[in-house]
Amino acid sequence: FIYAVMIDMFLCAFPPAMNDMEKKLAEYKCDTNEAVCLKLVRFPEDIDDESTTFHPEFSHQLYGDDEVAFGYKGLQIQLYYSAGNLSTLFKVKYTARVTDTFDCMEPDDVEDDFISLLEKEANFKPFGSLLHTYKVHNVEAGEDLTYQIHKVDISCPGFREYHERLQTFLMWFIETASFIDVDDDRWDFFLVFEKYNKDGETLYATVGYMTVYNYYVYPDKTRPRVSQMLVLLPFQGEGHGAQLLETVHRYYCTSAKVQDITAEDPSENYVKMRDFVLVKLCLTLSSFSSEKLSQGFSEEMVSEAREKLKINKKHARRVYEILRLQNTDMSDEEKAREFRLEVKKRLYGPYRKNQRELTKMQKCLRPEELASHISQMDTRLQHEELDKSYQDVLAEYRRVLERLAQA
The ranges assigned to domains in the chain are: 24-121, 125-330, 337-396
| Helix runs in 102-260, H state only | 159-166, 168-173, 240-253
pLDDT, residue 365, reads 61
* Residue 203 φ/ψ, nearest 5 degrees: -125, 165
The CA distance from 44 to 62, in Å, is 28
**Residues near 97 by Cβ (< 8 Å), separated by ≥ 6?**
28, 71, 72, 73, 107
DSSP label at residue 16: P
Alpha-carbon distances, residue 308 vs 24, 258, 273, 284, 314 (angstroms) = 66, 11, 20, 10, 16
Q: Which amino acid is at 276?
A: F
Q: Which residues on adjacent β-strands are paired with residue 372?
A: none
Does the annotation count 334 as an active-site position? no
Residue 105 pLDDT: 61
DSSP 255-286: -TTB---EESS--HHHHHHHHHHHHHHHTT-G
Question: In angstroms, rounded to a whole number, what is the distance separating the alpha carbons of residues 242 and 207?
Answer: 13
User: Is the bond into 219 cis (omega within 30 degrees of 0)?
Assistant: yes
Q: Check 264, 307, 357, 384 and give the catalytic one.
A: 264
- Give exposure, 210-228, as e/b (b: 16+ Cβ within 10 Å): bbbbbeeeeeeebbbebbb
User: What's the pLDDT at 372?
Assistant: 62
* pLDDT at residue 6, rounded to an integer: 47
Find, among 287, 332, 344, the residue nearest to 313 by Cα: 287
pLDDT beneath 50, residues of the chain: 1-7, 10, 110-116
User: Which residues have a Cβ under 8 Å from the Cβ of 212 and sit 6 or more positions away?
Assistant: 187, 188, 189, 190, 224, 225, 226, 227, 248
pLDDT at 23 (0 to 100): 75
Pairing mode, strands 76-82 and 36-41: parallel
Q: CA 126, CA 139: separation in Å to the nearest integer?
A: 26
**Treating both helix axes as pointing N-terminal to C-terminal, what angle do 268-282 and 240-253 enclose, rounded to 10 degrees?**
60
Pick the CATH number of 24-121 from 3.90.360.10, 3.30.70.520, 3.50.50.60, 1.10.287.180: 3.90.360.10
CATH code for residues 125-330: 3.40.630.30
Q: Maximum distance among all alpha carbons in the chain?
A: 83
Cβ within 8 Å of residue 361, ≥6 positions away: 369, 370, 373
